[in-house]
Amino acid sequence: MRFRKLTPLVAAATMVLVQGCKTSEPADRPKGPQGPVAATPTPDPAAEANKLNDLLAEYFEANLKMNPFQATFIGDPRYNYLLPNFFSPFALEANRAFNRHWLTRIESEVDRPVLQGQARLSYDVFVSQREDAIASEEFPGELQPVTQFFSIPSLFAQVGSGKSVQPFRSVKDYDDWHSRMLGAAVMFEQMIFNMRQGIDKKVIQPRIVVEKSIPQLAAHGLVKDVTKSVFWMPIANMPKSFSKDDKARLTAAYRARIQQVVIPAYRQLHDFMKSEYLPAARKTHGYWDLPNGARWYAHNVKMMTTTERTPEALHNLGLSEVERVQGEMKGVMKDVGFKGSLQDFFTFLKEDEQFYYKTEEEILAGYRALKEKVNKLLPKAFDVFPKADYEIRPVEAYRAKSSAGASYQAPSPDGSRPGVFYVNTSNVRRQPKYGMETLMIHEASPGHHFQISIQQEVESLPKFRRFGGYTAYAEGWALYAESLGKEIGMFEDPYQYYGKLDAELFRAMRLVVDTGLHYKKWTREQAIDFMLKNSSMDESDVVAEVERYIAIPGQALAYKTGQLAIQEMRNKAEKALGDRFDLKAFHRAILIDGALPLNVLAKKMDEWIASQNKPAMTAAAR
C-alpha cells in the first residue's frame, strides 16, 4: 500500500473533529418511586424552539470543524490553515458517525410536535439532510474523486490563486494558506490510493472524464518555473503594506512549499492519472455500467431533484419540453422574418458574425453594461434585495476548456468579498450576444446572486440554512428568474427572447441527455448528436456540457425540475388570489426562508396562499 500516514497537522485536526462527534453520556437518574407524580407541564413552543436553535448552532460549529473549506467560503477565517484528508477511511468514518450523532440528538432532545412555524421547518429540513447524507453512504463516491468539472485539485488551485475565497490581506492570511498547502500531498496521495481501489472494484471514471482531467492537473504539476504557478499569484500580488522582513520570509516560504509540496503533489496525481488510471478507465459513459449503478443513479436523481420522479418520467418530461420550446422558437422565426426550417435558423445563429463578439474584453464589457440595466429594472418584480454586490470575471485559463459557459460564486456574508459571476471567454462562440441577457439574469440578478445573497443575509435563519442549499431550489429559481425577463423590461429584441428560449431548451435537453446517458445507456456521441440537432449551441459548448453530465450524474436534472415546480406554485397562487395576487410578495415568500426541498417549499407556499386569502379585518373587528 502506497498511502503514508497523515501529517501531524491533518491528523491533529481530524482528531479534534472526531472528538467533537462524541455523544455525552446521560447523568445517572434516581430509580424507583420518587413521590407524587407531578402534573405534565404545558408544552412551550418558544422554549422548544430555543432548544432547537441552540442544537442547530452547536451542529453548525461542529460542521465547520469537519469542513474547514466551508468556513472559508462563508468568510469565517478560523480554519483557513486546515486541509483535512477528506477522502481517508478515518475521515469517512468520522463523517458517518457525525451524521448519525446529530440525527440521534435532534430526534431525542427536541419535541417536534411542539414546534411551530420556522422552527418546525428547520427541524424537518435538518432531519431530511441527515437522512440523505446517511443514504449516500451506500455509494462509494470517494473511489472516483477526480473529474474535469469538479474536483478538490481544481478547487484547491482556484482557492490558492489569491483571486477566490481564501483571503490574502494580512500576514496571518499568508501564513494560513502556507499551512493549508501542506495538506495537498496527503490528500492527493489518498485520492490515488482510493482510485486504485476503484480500479479493483470496477468503480472507475469513463475514459473521456479522465482525458479531460489530465490537462487540468498538468497545468499545476508540470510547472518548471515556480513563479509561473497559479499558487505564486499571492506572492506576486503581496500587499505593499507588509514589512520588508515579512515579504522576504513569505516569499522564501512559499517558494519552498510550492516547489517541494504542491507541484510534486499535482505531478504525482497527473502521472498516475495518465499512466495508470487512463488505461483502466471505462469505455462506457453512464452510471448504469458501475456496480449498483442503477440504484446509485436513482439516488442521485432523488437528491438533486428533491422529488420522487423516476429517470423514465424525467426523460419523457424533457422530450415534451423540447417540443414545446421549439414551437415557441418558430414564433421568433416569424417575428424576425426568417425563411427556412428551425434547423436552418439554428445554423444561421451559429454562423452569422452579427451574433458574436470578437474578444474577451468585448464580452466582459457587454455583461457589465447589462448589469447596470438589470439592476434598474428589478424593483418592478421585487421588494427585497441583497446588500452584497458581485463582480464579473473571466473563468481562469487552466479550467476554462472543460468548464461550463458561466458560473457563480457566492459573496462572504460579512461583505468583505463580493459575489463573482464567472464568464467562460475561452471561445467567443460560447458567448453569443443573443444569450447574454438570459445568462446575466440566471447567474447574477435576480438569479443566483440575488437568491443566495438574500438567503445569507437573513440572520434570523439558522446558519445551516443560511449557508446551505438544494440544487433543485437554487437552479430552479435561477431558471424561473429567466422567465421574468419580459415582465421586468428585458428581451425587447426578438433575438434576446430567442436567447431565453434557447436557455430553456438547453435545460429541457439536459433532462433527456442526463437520463439518456445514465439510464437509457446512451453513448457520449448519441448525447452530443441529440443536442446539436435540437439547438443552436456551438459544438464545443455541447461537448463540454455532455461531458459535464457524464461526470456529475443527476445534477443537470435539477434546473427544469425546480423551474417547473416554482412556476406551478406561481400559477396556483395567481388562480387562488386573482386580483389580490402580488408578484413582489410572492417572490419575497419564495426567497425569504432560503433554499428548501421542493416538496417542503410547495407546502410552505400553500400556507402562504391561504394566509393571503384571509379576508382583511374590519375596523370593528380590530
> Are 535 and 406 members of one domain?
yes
> Are 316 and 400 members of one domain?
yes
Q: Measured between alpha carbons, how far is 529 from 514 in angstroms, rounded to an integer?
A: 14
496-525: pLDDT as tens digits: 999 999 999 999 999 999 999 999 999 999
pLDDT of residue 11 exceeding 50, the answer is no
> Are 103 and 8 members of one domain?
yes
How does residue 387 score in pLDDT terms, banded at 50, 70 and 90? very high
Q: Is 203:140 a contact under the CB 8 Å cutoff?
A: yes
Count of residues in the chain: 622
Q: Measured between alpha carbons, how far is 474 from 583 in angstroms, rounded to an integer?
A: 19
Q: Measured between alpha carbons, how far is 365 from 521 in angstroms, rounded to an integer?
A: 42
244 is in which domain, residue-wise?
Answer: 142-283
pLDDT of residue 41 exceeding 80, the answer is no
Q: Measured between alpha carbons, how far is 614 from 616 in angstroms, rounded to an integer?
A: 6
What is the side-by-side strand order in the sheet with 419-423?
390-394, 419-423, 406-409
* pLDDT on residue 414: 84
Strand partners, 393: 422
Closest CA to 55 of 462, 469, 460, 597: 462
* Strand pairing report for 419-423 and 390-394: parallel
pLDDT of residue 40 exceeding 70, the answer is no
> Are 465 and 540 members of one domain?
yes
Q: Is 282:206 a contact under the CB 8 Å cutoff?
A: yes
pLDDT of residue 18 exceeding 60, the answer is no
Grid coordinates of 567? 412556476
Counting residues of the chain whose pLDDT is more than 70, the rounded percentage is 92
Q: Measured between alpha carbons, how far is 559 from 554 in angstroms, rounded to an integer?
A: 10
In a domain, 33, yes or no: no
Strand partners, 421: 392, 408
> Are 386 and 422 members of one domain?
yes
Q: Which helix (H) or strand (E) holds 107?
A: helix 89-109
In a domain, 70, yes or no: yes
In a domain, 29, yes or no: no
Three-state secondary-structure class, residue 394: strand
> Are 419 and 323 members of one domain?
yes
The answer to whether the Cα torsion of 591, 597, 598, 604 is positive or negative is: negative
Residue tagged 442549499 (cell numbers): 469
Q: Measured between alpha carbons, how far is 397 from 215 in angstroms, rounded to an integer?
A: 11
pLDDT of residue 9 exceeding 50, the answer is no
Last residue of a domain, one of 78, 105, 139: 139
pLDDT of residue 331 exceeding 80, the answer is yes
**Mean pLDDT score of the chain:** 91
Q: Measured between alpha carbons, how far is 551 from 546 in angstroms, rounded to an integer?
A: 9
How does residue 2 score in pLDDT terms, banded at 50, 70 and 90? very low
* pLDDT on residue 622: 37
How does residue 430 score in pLDDT terms, banded at 50, 70 and 90? confident
Say which residues have a Cβ less than 8 Å from residue 542's Cβ, sequence separation at least 6.
528, 531, 532, 535
Q: 114-126 in b/e burial notation, b at 16+ Cβ within 10 A?
A: bbeebbbbbbbbb
> Are 277 and 410 members of one domain?
no
Closest CA to 209 of 287, 281, 304: 281
* pLDDT on residue 16: 33
Q: Measured between alpha carbons, how far is 205 from 87 in angstroms, rounded to an integer?
A: 17
- How big is the chain by its Cα radius of gyration, in Å? 26
pLDDT of residue 10 exceeding 80, the answer is no
> Are 96 and 187 members of one domain?
no
Q: Is 159:234 a contact under the CB 8 Å cutoff?
A: no
Distance of CA 163 to the CA centre of its chain: 19
Last residue of a domain, one of 283, 315, 340: 283
Last residue of a domain, one of 560, 581, 605: 560
In a domain, 614, yes or no: no
Q: Measured between alpha carbons, how far is 93 from 88 in angstroms, rounded to an integer?
A: 9
How does residue 39 score in pLDDT terms, banded at 50, 70 and 90? low
Distance of CA 15 to the CA centre of its chain: 28
> Are 407 and 528 members of one domain?
yes
Closest CA to 535 of 500, 506, 495, 515: 506
pLDDT of residue 28 exceeding 70, the answer is no
Hey, how many other C-beta atoms are within 10 angstroms of the C-beta on 296? 22
In a domain, 489, yes or no: yes
Say which residues have a Cβ less than 8 Å from residue 432's Cβ, sequence separation at least 6.
349, 355, 356, 499, 538
343-353: pLDDT as tens digits: 999 999 999 99
In a domain, 123, yes or no: yes
Q: Measured between alpha carbons, how far is 114 from 437 in angstroms, rounded to an integer?
A: 47
In a domain, 272, yes or no: yes
What average pLDDT score do residues 185-208 get? 98
* pLDDT on residue 38: 55
Closest CA to 461 of 589, 592, 588: 592
> Are 68 and 216 members of one domain?
no
In a domain, 107, yes or no: yes
Q: Measured between alpha carbons, how far is 511 from 520 in angstroms, rounded to an integer?
A: 12
Amino acid letter at 502? D
Residue 206 DSSP one-character state:
B
The answer to whether the Cα torsion of 513, 468, 417, 442 is positive or negative is: positive
Q: Measured between alpha carbons, how far is 449 from 441 in angstroms, rounded to an integer?
A: 9
pLDDT of residue 380 exceeding 70, the answer is yes
Number of structural domains the chain divides into: 3
Q: Is 472:304 a contact under the CB 8 Å cutoff?
A: yes
- DSSP secondary structure string, 325-387? HHHHHHHHHHHTT--S-HHHHHHHHHH-GGG--SSHHHHHHHHHHHHHHHHHHGGGT-S---S
Distance of CA 287 to the CA centre of its chain: 21
In degrees rounded to 5, what are phi and psi of residue 283?
-90, -20
> Are 248 and 348 members of one domain?
no
Grid coordinates of 461? 435563519
> Are 328 and 463 members of one domain?
yes
* pLDDT on residue 595: 96
Amino acid letter at 128? S
Crossing angle for the helix pair 244-257 and 171-181, nearest 10 degrees?
10
Count Cα neighbours of 289 within 13 Å in the Cβ-side half-sphere. 15
